[in-house]
Chain A
Amino acid sequence: MQRRMAAWVRRRQGTDVLPVTLQRRRLYILPTRSGLAFGVLLALMLVAGLNYANSLALLLTFLLAGLALIAMHACHRNLLGLKVTELLAPDSFAGGHSQLQLRLANPGAQPRVGVALAGTGKPGTGCVVPANGEAVVHHVIATPRRGALPVGRLRLTTTWPFGLFRAWTWLHVTHAVTVYPRPEGLRPMPAAAGAQNGTAPRDFGEIDEWATLRVFRDGDSPRQVAWKAYARGGPLLVKEYTASGSAERLFDFDVLAGLATEQRLSQLCKWIVTAAADEERFGLRLPRVHIELDQGAAHRQRCLRALARHDPAGYDQGAAADA
């Protein structure tokens, strides 16, 4: 039922390209639960007033009925004419959340109070769009899987002023949240390249800047092995250095052979996040995307987005063609 309603609304309104001004055609309004209870109260008052020919009870009933009608109009007006100017859908990691931000502009001379944004669930507390002003409403959506998560439809609602009616509008936007892979994986970061073609950290004094020791795994560089510990009779351990300064690394998809595609992407994601946090220079090599060595927030986003957009089907076909 709800799905059919949604489809009907979608057909009726079409896709929205922001900015959108909320016209009557796209505003819907229905009584809330407390509005229905208020209706029951009014019906009871009416019956009592008529039954006992009680003028004051009738007058009270009619006054409150008028109030409900005024409330309906005021609720509808609270959205009418409002302009949705912009939607920000920040990128997010799989398994995380993205806080959507909808920018609203109020061209009217009256502030809009209690305007809330929701998906299909229960709307949160609203915001105020001041007269002739702007405001941003937030809505948090979960981003379970890597890729592009279409925002789909959003509901802008209000129950202002008396909470007896809820007016809302559906926004069908083409925006999508770019969802990065979940940053996880146990593979060590590829060795830094360039001038310091070794594992030793740059010279920051006597303290070794390795952070952890872990058990040796196939593929680990012999230079990273903690030979001294091994010599003392311990297990074969590998030093993992914290990255520092201007190490340069190339994260290559193909290096991670033996893992599923998503796992590889997750591993690459984790490397990128770690490298970016340590302000390292890094590059990314995906089957069809090559991002040169660089650093900074924009570079990080470019790389992560490349991961998010990676199409395994395309890769598999590509790999088959190569073979």
Chain B
Amino acid sequence: MPEQTLATQVRVTRWVVGAYLLGALLHLGQLPVWVIIVAGCGGAWAMAAAHGRARLPGRPFKVALTVLLTGTVIAMFHTLNGLEAGSALLVLMGGVKLLEARSARDRLIVIGVAFYLLLAACLASQDMLRAPAYLLQTWVCCTALLLTAHPEAPVTSRAAALLSGRSLALALPLALLLFALFPRMSGAFWSLGNPNQAQTGLSDTMSPGSISELGNSIEPVFRVWFDGPLPPAAERYWRGPVLHDFDGETWRVHGGGFRQETLEYLGRAYRYQIRLEPDANPWWPALDTVQTAKAPGTQITPDRQLLAYRPQHDAVTYSAVSYTQTRSGDQLSIVARRFDTDYAHQRNPRTQALAVRLRAAAPDVPGYVASVLALFRNGNFEYTLSPPVLGPNSVDDFLFKTRLGFCGHFASAFALLMRAAGVPARVVTGYQGGEWNPIGHYLLIRQSDAHAWVEVWEDGRGWVRVDPTGVVAPERLQRGILDLLPGTGSVPERLLHEFSWLQEGHQLWDAANAWWSTQVVAYNYASQLRLLDWLGFDNPGWQQLGWLLAGALSAWLLVIGWQFGRIRTAGGPDRLARAYLRLCARLARSGPARQPHQGPLAYADSLPGASGPMLTARELLNQYARLRYGSVLPTLAQLREFERRVSRWRPPHRNVRASPEK
């Protein structure tokens, strides 16, 4: 190992430390901050040592540090397995390795750590925004690899970065080909511990009275691509958990025991595909009422929820067919009737009394529903996202005191009024509405579109959807929550709402995200088969994929092999000479050709004509002689200027040439 100069040492160390620190920074959100800080300290120490301002620690210190850091990771994560603990350990051990990075081999190990950190970052998050950072990190790692392999190479860091960048650019076509065609396996070899994903979404309980401020974020929940026309805005109900149990304050889901009634689907069928963002809940939203769904790992429950067998932590794509209207001639089962008319009798006495009174006045169930809706419409109720907190008799408080609430309050009160009158009713939560994205042609449903409504059983019609919120605040259903309550929402939401160009920009951004999420992140075997189908293969399968892959790979290798196998000699004419020869060739077409014995000046003298293009040509030939034989080498700018003048030169017109000289 030859002794390296200080400058070389510093440069290589800088790149290696840079690659390592960038790799650690990619985990900024996922790993505890102290891990990143330790990484930074390791990097700073290594840099100081390279500059000769600090000494690298001895072996006992490093052994102690390794033991201490490993112990801390085990204490924090209770394991060394799993993505987070593994990444933390990798970052820390990379930092320790930096403290002994003296030889090229040590440095290569640190670069390897940086590559593994990049892989871990890919596994942790596939956000579109992070992709450029990953690409940058790949570039930095490759440059560090180059400089580590050739510390003494007389190339600048810039040249090294350019070289690795060019290599990556040449590799990109292959990467895309392989990405598109490399056979994907469905199903995992092993599984990783749950990554910490977003835990937002619907809840299996609803207690309107205890919430005084509704979370109202514009986070996307899912996106829907329709095969055909969209359902009307008022029918865009996205069904989530159905709540059956009510204890006077809180609505809860019920385990089951319901029977599937036969449904008659009315109106047109809506076919669509949904891309659901990572969600810890087992309910996959679907347009109400879902008939069939192609969603592996889910079932359609008797109360028409699309329920996954286990929560999904990654984004999922599924397709379904729904009808917005249904009818059922069945009788409600006795069990279901008992569940859906049950309520806490000792709570909300005034509501119970009101229900009995109104029911007695109404001729039938539809009439009763209408009279309760009329009560909501005319009872000075107000829609707000910041309702006051209610007491134990939450529905009594709401109906008779505060009269302020959001969808949950209205649904809860309505359902109780139904049950207290003996009419089976259940609360359905989910989403309502959605924003049409004209760029990506999909409907975007956000967290702020969360909604709750009620279903009432009418004999002969089955479950009928009633949305009391729509009676109080019809705009809520038509245009979304921000139109209804201009003062609510966070600052970015309001800004988005007020400025249309901002909204368009946001839609473009969301469309790009959606494209990324569905076309890149969710690219799988099915997508590959679609690609083959699009390319015109009949019955696409593994075999066609393999052939295509082999063909594409060979084509790339041929191109690259040809590109690299040809040695570009510099034997031919240089740029200046090429421009000169071009000029001579064009002159020869409209005048005398240059004789082999003529240099540029002699040729200029032999040109006929004293004006116009010929004069310019003469000037150009003189300029060439100056550039070629002058005492100073021509600059690039001069060269370009000459080339430009040559290409702008036009031969004289025939008649001009024929005219006598002045």
Contacts and interface: CB of A to CB of B under 8 A. Distances in A.
Interface stretch (A7-15, A44-52, A275-283): A44-52
A96 interface: no
A200 interface: no
A51 B185 CA distance: 7
Query: Chain A's interface: helix, strand, loop or mixed, by majority?
Result: helix
Interface stretch (A71-79, A141-149, A258-266): A71-79
Contacts of A163: 145-146, 148-150
Contacts of A24: 565
A63 B179 CA distance: 9
Interface string A10-39: 000000000000001000000000100100
B138 A55 contact: no
Interface string A107-137: 1111001100000000011101001100000
Contacts of B184: 50, 53
Given A55-B520, A160-B150, A60 B138 contact: yes
Contacts of A56: 122, 126, 131, 134, 520-521
Interface in B118-153: 118-119, 122-123, 126, 131, 134, 138, 142, 145-146, 148-150, 152-153
Given A63-B168, A108-B568, A114-B153, A52 B123 contact: yes
Contacts of B568: 108-110
Contacts of B134: 56, 60
A53 B564 CA distance: 34
Nearest to A82: B567
A31 to B, nearest CB: 13
B163 interface: yes
Nearest to A160: B150
B65 interface: no
A66 B557 CA distance: 10
Query: Looking at chain A, what size class is its interface with the partner chain?
Result: 35 or more
B564 A62 contact: no
Which residue, of A57, A66, A74, has the highest number of chain B Cβ atoms within 10 A?
Answer: A66
Given A59-B175, A124-B2, A73 B564 contact: yes
Contacts of B557: 69
A65 interface: yes
Contacts of A45: 119
B108 A37 contact: yes
Interface stretch (B187-195, B369-377, B412-420, B457-465): B187-195
Contacts of A51: 185, 188-190
A162 B143 CA distance: 8
Contacts of A108: 567-570
Interface in B513-570: 520-524, 557, 560-561, 563-565, 567-570
B167 A81 contact: no
A67 interface: yes
Nearest to B521: A55
24 contacts: A34-B108, A51-B185, A52-B123, A52-B188, A52-B192, A53-B184, A55-B520, A55-B523, A57-B123, A58-B182, A60-B122, A62-B179, A62-B182, A63-B138, A63-B175, A66-B170, A73-B563, A80-B567, A107-B567, A107-B569, A107-B570, A109-B570, A128-B154, A163-B145
Given A70-B560, A126-B153, A164-B149, 9 more contacts: A55-B520, A55-B521, A57-B119, A62-B174, A62-B175, A64-B171, A70-B170, A73-B563, A81-B567
